[in-house]
Structure 1
Amino acid sequence: MEPHPRLYVDSEAIERARREPSIPWLRDAARQVAADAQRGARLPDLQWTPHSHNGHLIRARRMQTRVVTLLVRWFQTGQERFRRAALQCVRQMRDWEYWSWIAWRSGDSAPDALFDLSYGENSATLALAYDWLHDTLSDEERALFLETARKWPFAAGMKHARPGATWWFGRTDSNWNTVCAGGLGMLALAMYEDADEARELLPLVEESVAPYFLFLDETDGAWPEGIGYWNYGMRYAFLYLLSHERATGRKHPLFRHKGVRKTLEFPLDFCPHGQSCSFGDVNHWNPLPFHYAAARRLGRTDIAAALDDRLEAQGVRSGTWPDTAEWLLLHPGRTAQAERKPARGPVARLYRGMDWGVLADRMPDSTFYAAVRGGTTNVPHSHRDLLSFHCVVGRELLVTDIKPAEYLDTTFSVRRDEIFGITPASKNTVLINGVGITAGSALDRTERVSLPGAVGFRLVATEALGAMRDGSAVEFCARLVLLLDGSQLLIIDRAVLPHAGRMETRLHTYADVKAGKRGAVLHGRKERLRVAYAADVPAMLTLSVPAPTTPTAPAGHALRWCTVASTHTDMTLATLLSPSAGRARLELETGQRGQIRLTVGEREIRLTPTLRRARS
């Protein structure tokens, strides 16, 4: 193993953190680190409450932030008080009665009761502190670290971090894999010569994380848990790989995979202009330092430049982890110089294997953008949101869906699918007889389509709508989403029912709404979006106020385009979104053979009953 510091932060990074930054947002980060470290050195032991959801995990993140911030400030100033405060944090971690909220709730205080996310994040905190302090530790201080590691993560890791011992080991599609194994792996690398357990655990860590990275080849780099959990799982995944390379002095073979390179693009594609357009839990994303470090390692100067642009626009936002301190360590101190490729469009990008799609007038720097949800709900953190979409006009998110504002005891329980913000009623999707996409379902098909002057996606949801009273809910149901000349979004929904019923499409917004009989105008801070509706059966537009589970969460508005009666078996509804001024003409009629004709302004679009392009 290489000398310490040997993990993802090297001596050059530490030296860089000591210099006065020249970039304004980095100077802000440096001031924040100084203030936080000053406060952290004066405060007593970390105060926290176990009664919030996963309170022990929140404590682990706060502790990691405090320890890393204190030690970065120690690097900068050499003042012993910051080092002493960091060591006191390690003593507090050693003496905690529980490391896990799950174990605390069950009353099992055995340190090896389980190995969950808190263990993974605490392991990473121990690893960084040990690595950075290694050459200055007294015998007593070194014994403190080894005692803590052996009491908690090594004991639990030896029991649970192996095939068949815990559900997350080797899991391809869950952040738990890399948070748990990645944090444990960093500790094993840091203590490799000093603990027999470290040498035994490291090959098991490699075995666990490999499927996680290889899965990215199947999804074009997309992540089924969405962009918020992409940040979480990938943070520990990439910090482990970067640490492994530095500690061993050898390039890691997982970096060679195409999906690993491609995944760096994924959150940027689903967060245009800082507007999060992901699906499932935690639709929220900010640039994190690991992303920048991974981009530099993989030679993706285009990604680094895009992250620099975001940071210049929004600054560093203090978040879940020690982001401000890590930016001082991992950012080179100068903006990335990448060849600025001209914006191209229109764009219809489908992440195969996951079937999430992006439509935009151009990328990068879109002025009209939509994200579309295909694929399956049978993945971690998913909602019943198949067919749903988001729409960004300029730099404003004007169409989105309703998501839970907090985690409750029901969130990860057998009753999860009853929470309003997870149900189809809270999404921009199709409802048949008052219900929509079923739990654990998948679309029959998601495909990219092209028509003259239009690109988009065709999504078939027949099986995903499940059963009704005496058989299938529908004989056929599909949605066609088309970007017209890069300037309008046309959505056509068709359903054929075995028995007479009702059809509805929903559109949610937090913008101000002025609604009419067959359309509405959404007014944002600067932008506006016109919504026009059409149908081949009598239909009506109603404006409703959703009822999110959290009473203090904003409710927004729901535009409901519904059939007037529940007496139809064959229905086609259309929605046109236009950011331009002026009324948008939208007409729809269905011929005797089921051929659908839409008129959008002066354009005519003909479709088959299965929402494919009709032959002239």
Structure 2
Amino acid sequence: MKRIVVLLIILLSFNGFSGQAQSSTDVLKSMKEEHPRILLLKGEEQQILSQIKKHPEWNGVHQEILAECDKLLDTPPVERIKIGKRLLDKSRECLRRVFQLSYAYRTTRDEKYLRRAEKEMLAVSAFEDWNPTHFLDVAEMTMAVAIGYDWLYDGLTAEARTKIADAILKKGIEPSFEKKYSAFLNAEHNWNQVCNAGISFGALAIAETQPEIAANVIARAVATIPKAMIPSYEPDGAYPEGFSYWGYGTSFNVLFVSAVEKALGTDFGLLQSPGFLKTAGFFQNLVGPTGLAHNWGDSGLKEGLSPAMFWFAEKTKDPSLLWTQKKLLSAQTAGNVGNRILPALLIWGIKTNLDAVKPPSKKQWVGQGPSPVALMRTSWVGPSAIFVGLKTGSPAVNHAHMDIGSFVIDAQGERWAMDFGMQDYNSLETKGVDLWNRTQNSQRWEVFRLNNFAHNTLSFDGQLVNAKGYAKIDSWSDSKAEMMAVTDLSNLYKDQITAAKRGISILNEKWVVVRDEVNTADKAVKMRWNLLTGATVKVVDQKTVELSQNGKKMFILFVTEANIVIKTWPTTPTHDYDAPNPNTQFVGFEVTIPANTAEEFNAIFSQSTEIPKVKPLAAWK
């Protein structure tokens, strides 16, 4: 309760910044006086060095960082070269380098790492600006320089300290108080989390020389970051922007909370935000036994090691959250250094006993919110388990596609039903595509990968779904005999049909059943049932499709009284700005449903042609 009161006081007292400080330095009253104060205090390196002796996995990451830092010694610093409107890749590379070089210095005390980090920070501090028109660039650059300034403070030259601190203030913090750059303060998505975190790191780094400004920054962040945290995780922890943006927004949210906890001794009540401490379950369950994520929306297929997952495992005292992370650690693929916040994994994993990491007990995870999901599997052990991910929600959500009701399926170690995921933004923006407009007639929905015709869902008369429509997970069960989830998609097809419901079930740990129940209005409609796959497709007969890949087979058995016509469609892009989609195709069926008619369609994914009995959705319990 005390922490909630503290948060409310700050929320009520924060009035912004208008050339002079508006909030009290009481926010900083418990701040650690000496450097380093961000994430890892002086002397805490010894805990890491002790831990890496206990597990070869930890030592593998530690040695990988040191080897990468040795490679960086002769690498020129990043230059101010934008890609389109973004400097973001340079900011991220600077963060990756400085964080890892600073870590290397603190754990070895070898001055070569300190001097190389100092060189990187002086180079970016000399930039004309950090590109405030795309403020994520500023945020990540500020965080990079702040970590280096704080962690290496005692070893930096006096001249370097002055230049770096001035850059943090002038190029990082001050632009964040200009109205034309500060829209992130009201954002309900990752921009809020990333920008508040980055600028707050800068404030903590230079707080002893700029206490009033630093206090304002921290108070402002504590007051505004809930605008993203509450809608993003309430009620169950499902993150509305999907797998990759969870890795972005949530990781930076954790960086912020971890930084203020360490430097100021409080989380300001933020960890009581509904659903936040549950969200690690969402991220973990999105990954199938193939190692591929359910990559709906603007998302990629793989993320690699996630430092934030180690923070959540420690906070919740649930080591099972690290089941897949431990596998990634053990693999030692030598690609981990591409993660720009990799040292945080060792910081947050200090207390983790990897021997205590066991498979999760639950095989189904359901979350509501702006982008509800149902994620289910037959086992957490072995690559051959069946995995199904069902995505609902709305195209109106940030980074969303018209993929409501879409699904992915893994079985036999292969992905049979897939999602394209995102297309590189710059490739679309440079062609003039109106990418960030999510209204019904926006050009965004003409991008091949983003509309409903490219997803594993339904379309009627070749129309887009309702861009403001919404569906949730209406019912679900984790029964071993009939693990399932049901969603009502009717709102997505407003003025096209009267009702559409979809249920997906793993039946007896053997079949995956996708059942659709559709009711038409006063006119006949042509429905397309669509599946995207990377498998080779063979149409066996009027109700059977055979998928094959890597020597394995999967049948799709269509069971319906309707007169369906099985078809395949190419995934050839329709515009010059669309990304290519090699080695993929669509398969499914078309059917004309008469006016005022109710039809039922079952698609059964099976390794044989045996057909189970499927009940109406009303009987799914």
TM more than 0.5: yes
Please say if residues 79 and 124 of structure 2, whose CA atoms lie closer than 8 Å, have aligned partners that are also in contact: no
Using a 3 Å threshold, how does the CA distance of structure 1 residues 527 and 208 change in structure 2: closer, same or farther? farther
CA contact (8 A) 2:140 2:195 kept: yes
Note the C-alpha offset of 1:514.
Answer: 2.8
In the alignment, which residue of structure 1 is the partner of 2:192?
177
- Equivalent residue number for residue 597 of structure 2: 570
Q: Secondary structure at the match of 1:99?
A: coil
Match for residue 529 of structure 2 among 496, 505, 511: 505
Q: From the superposition, tell whether residues 519 and 277 of structure 1 become closer, same or farther in structure 2 (CA, over 3 Å).
A: same
5+ residue gaps, structure 2, are 1-30
* TM-score of the superposed pair, with normalisation by structure 2: 0.83
Separation in 2, partners of 1:521, 1:21: 51
Which residue matches 2:503? Answer: 480
2:534 & 2:604 partners in 1: Cα distance?
16
1:454–1:482 contact (8 Å) kept in structure 2: yes
* Alignment match, 2:18: none
Q: Secondary structure of 1:185's partner? A: helix
**Mean alpha-carbon deviation: is it higher for 86-95 or for 71-80?**
71-80
What's the CA shift for 1:263? 0.8
User: CA distance change for structure 1 residues 341 and 78 in 2, over 3 Å: closer, same or farther?
Assistant: closer
Please name the residue that 1:71 is paired with: 102
* TM-aligned CA distance change 1:41 to 1:54, over 3 Å: farther
- What secondary structure is seen at the aligned counterpart in 2 of 1:422? coil
Q: For residue 160 of structure 2, give the secondary structure of its aligned residue in structure 1.
A: helix
Are residues 567 and 251 of structure 1, via their aligned partners in 2, closer, same or farther at CA, if it must alter by over 3 Å?
closer
Q: 3-state SS of the aligned residue for 1:263?
A: helix
With 24-33 and 503-512 compared, the bigger mean Cα shift is at 24-33
Q: Sort the Cα spacing of 1:323 and 1:416 in 2 relative to 1 into closer, same or farther, 3 A.
A: same
**1:264 partner SS:** helix
For 1:71 and 1:381, the matched residues in 2 are separated by 34
Residue 324 of structure 1 and its aligned partner are, at CA, apart by 4.5
Please, which of 518, 530, 539 is the counterpart of residue 515 of structure 1? 539
User: SS where residue 192 of structure 2 aligns?
Assistant: helix
For 1:427, the equivalent position in structure 2 comes to 455
SS of equivalent to 2:514: strand
Write out aligned runs for 1:37-76 (5 A).
37-47=69-79, 49-51=81-83, 53=84, 55-76=86-107
Q: In the alignment, which residue of structure 2 is the partner of 1:385? A: 403
Deviations 1:73-117 (A, max 9, x none): 3234433332222112122212223422xxxxxxxxxxxx55711
Indicate if the aligned counterparts of 1:406 and 1:550 stay in contact, CA closer than 8 A: no
Q: Any idea what SS the aligned residue of 1:141 has? A: helix
User: Which residue number in structure 2 is paired with residue 84 of structure 1?
Assistant: 115
State the one-letter code of the partner of 2:514. I
- Alignment partners' CA distance in 1, 2:268 and 2:472: 38
Number of aligned positions between the proteins: 570
Q: Partner residue of 1:447?
A: 475
* Structure 1 residue 382, shift from structure 2 partner: 0.2
SS for the counterpart of 1:308 is helix
Residue 15 (1) aligns with residue 46 (2): yes
Distance 1:147 1:289 in 2: 30
Query: 2:547, 2:238 → 1: CA distance?
Result: 31
Q: Residue 167 of structure 2 aligns to a residue in which SS?
A: helix
Partner SS, residue 275 of structure 2: helix
Change (3 A) 1:25 1:552: farther
Q: 1:272 to 1:444 in 2, by over 3 A?
A: closer
Query: How does the TM-score come out when normalised to structure 1?
Result: 0.84
Letter in 2 for 1:543: T
- Of 550, 554, 560, 1:535 maps to 560
Q: Output the CA distance in 2 between the equivalents of 1:384 and 1:319.
A: 34
Cα distance in 1 for residues equivalent to 2:103 and 2:360: 39
Residues 272 and 335 from structure 1, CA distance in 2 versus in 1: closer, same or farther, beyond 3 angstroms?
farther
Return the letter of the residue paired with 1:182: A
Within-5 A mapping of 1:550-565: 550-563=578-591, 565=592
Question: Which digits, 9 at most, give the CA deviation of each residue in 1:205-232, with x for residues without a partner?
Answer: 1111123333355230110000100010
Paired AA for residue 546 in structure 2: V
- 1:253-285 residue CA offsets vs partner (Å, 9 max, x unmatched): 222445122011111111123220132001333
Contact kept, 8 Å, 2:297 with 2:422, in 1: the verdict is: no
**Structure 2 residue 487 is the aligned partner of structure 1 residue 459:** yes
Deviates more, 1:252-261 or 1:149-158: 252-261
Q: Is the 8 A contact 1:29 1:327 kept in 2?
A: no
In structure 2, C-alpha distance between the alignment counterparts of 1:350 and 1:133, rounded to whole Å: 42
1: CA distance, partners of 2:590 / 2:150:
61
Contact 2:235 2:274 in 1 (8 A): no
Q: Which residue of 2 aligns with 1:202?
A: 218
The 1:34/1:338 distance shift into structure 2, 3 A limit, reads closer
Aligned to 1:349: 366
Q: 1:566 to 1:168 in 2, by over 3 A?
A: same
Q: What is the alpha-carbon distance in structure 2 between the residues aligned to residue 452 and residue 583 of structure 1?
A: 22
Distance 1:190 1:462 in 2: 52
Secondary structure at the counterpart of residue 436 of structure 2:
coil
Retained in 2: the 8 A contact 1:73–1:82?
yes
RMSD: 3.0
Segment of structure 1 superposing worse, 474-483 or 370-379: 474-483
Identity %: 18
Stretches of structure 1 lacking an aligned partner (at least 5 in a row): 101-112, 467-471, 586-599
1:216 and 1:263 in contact (8 A); partners too: no
Greater mean alpha carbon deviation, residues 438-447 or residues 411-420: 438-447
Aligned residue type for 1:190? A
